[in-house]
Structure 1
């Protein structure tokens, strides 16, 4: 069984987290059954960007990174306090440990800034929120990333993406890395997605 850690910061966008819970949930029950997703955060209760609360299954302080095979991180809103957790050293240390162990890391939208802040994107191709009015891509470049003007960027074991609409694609890419193309296509079909 391959375990995916869904790392949640206060102020995360629920839709960006839900793509991982749904894709890996569908795989567990309807796909090859070989994945399990576990949520974790810095606090016993987290508030999403749009004000509902969730209780992560584990606290970051109780994680054993070696038991996990991949890391997934949804983005969030500064106004909802996202960067307080997303830039917290305990949060960044989780990212660094996955990187050191060469395990897949998938982020959606501004979650790439956590990767950048942790140092794992130095001289690596990446992207983040791409709206023309946003400063996030400039911030990511200042953190040492080689920012790409792409919808999704895959650089070895790291996946970054440009906005919330990329969520399902990122989750399916991570599923493909952990299982297979044929299994991922099967889950996509069951979920009503056409083959990419």
Structure 2
């Protein structure tokens, strides 16, 4: 199996790294045949806090049928996260994954990329919840049924409301790709509360 980890410029490294680590533990320590492939608009993507990250593949070279899931970290608007996040190529990529019913996991404001693509219309989702819920109100304007909970799952789509929830999103994605029991095993091995 392969997870495509889409990294628009100004993505948050904490929200990116959880997918690498959770899937890495599942593969390395528990034998789950899952790889993470990083993807960007350029070969080197500059994250929110100016850390350059080398991508495995460019968005133009993606063939959706080669992948089993899509993961997207959030990022900072003021550093240009939505420039590539709202690009037509991003929209099309998200729509293709959704039309094939493949898991799509997003952290924090990456939910806006899903909403902008149209796949969240009439569905339950969440996004950044602090500052009087302003971001959640903006998400609701896309005809999204906003739920003020840390992680919201609607069919194949996972959304969450802040960086603190990033590991939970990665574990939810792992569960979709394996089993509940396999996810708990990895979660416990990584030192998280396995019963949550």
Question: TM bucket by the smaller chain?
Answer: over 0.9
Q: Is the 8 A contact 1:42 1:91 kept in 2?
A: no
Separation in structure 2 between the aligned mates of residue 4 and residue 83 of structure 1, nearest angstrom = 22
Extract structure 1 runs of 4+ deviating beyond 6 A. Answer: none
TM-superposition CA deviations, 1:62-119 (whole Å, max 9, x none): 0110010111000000111101010111111110000010101010000000000000
Give 1:185 shift.
1.3
Separation in structure 2 between the aligned mates of residue 193 and residue 150 of structure 1, nearest angstrom = 19
Does residue 46 (structure 1) correspond to residue 30 (structure 2)? The answer is no
The 5 Å alignment of 1:5-24 reads: 5-24=4-23
Which residue is equivalent to 2:54? Answer: 55
TM-score scaled by length of structure 1: 0.97
Secondary structure of residue in 1 paired with 2:36: strand
Separation in structure 2 between the aligned mates of residue 122 and residue 31 of structure 1, nearest angstrom = 37
Structure 2 segments unaligned to the other structure (5+ residues): none
Which residue is equivalent to 1:143? Answer: 142
The 5 Å alignment of 1:95-106 reads: 95-106=94-105
Q: Is the 8 A contact 1:154 1:160 kept in 2?
A: yes
Which residue is equivalent to 1:168? Answer: 167
TM-superposition CA deviations, 1:149-181 (whole Å, max 9, x none): 111111011000010100001100100110111
Separation in structure 1 between the aligned mates of residue 124 and residue 191 of structure 2, nearest angstrom = 31
Q: Is the 8 A contact 1:104 1:158 kept in 2?
A: yes
The 10-residue stretch of structure 1 (165-174 or 31-40) with the greater mean CA deviation from structure 2? 31-40
Q: CA RMSD in A?
A: 0.9
TM-score scaled by length of structure 2: 0.97
Number of aligned residue pairs: give it: 195
